[in-house]
Chains A and B, each alone.
Chain A
Amino acid sequence: NAGVTQTPKFQVLKTGQSMTLQCAQDMNHNSMYWYRQDPGMGLRLIYYSASEGTTDKGEVPNGYNVSRLNKREFSLRLESAAPSQTSVYFCASSEALNNEKLFFGSGTQLSVL
């Protein structure tokens, strides 16, 4: 039982390049999330998916897109990376949106030069 798996663990991009961060969970959770963690800012929600087939914007969605491919997988895409997107990205999941504990992946450290 792997929990929440994110790939890649590290990535360096040049400004303007695109990439997709992958996330998969094996706990049969309905809800999945993407957060970014920055020094002095804490964790901030980028996008979330309450259930398969739905996605919604979080606190800081600009510059990102997401896809809930199926119940297990939730990907985050940067279409044209900017230095301001240098951050550590975490995927998380929970049984349901409310009143539930979150389970986090180990993170992706992204640097945009």
Chain B
Amino acid sequence: SQKIEQNSEALNIQEGKTATLTCNYTNYSPAYLQWYRQDPGRGPVFLLLIRENEKEKRKERLKVTFDTTLKQSLFHITASQPADSATYLCALPRDSGYSTLTFGKGTMLLVSP
């Protein structure tokens, strides 16, 4: 089944800068990839879904890229704000095709004023 690698160390950036988080996967290339945000003690919240035929997807200050050659997705938050501080999870189908999701451990983002 799929293995997902997200940086376990927290990412600290200053307000106004662009935050870039990485999601690497190790097995087959998925048909799609999802990103979620999770605040402490709460359930994850869906942010974006990108499909294998889409190189890039945007939603307001968020941008996701998907490179099937590198087996990597990058998640960017531009003009970051302290309210963006949270853990960001990457999720892929567990097996090939359209199986249920498997989630990465997530990367914590801390935006300081």
| A and B form one complex | no
> What residues of chain B have their CB less than 8 Å away from a CB belonging to chain A?
none
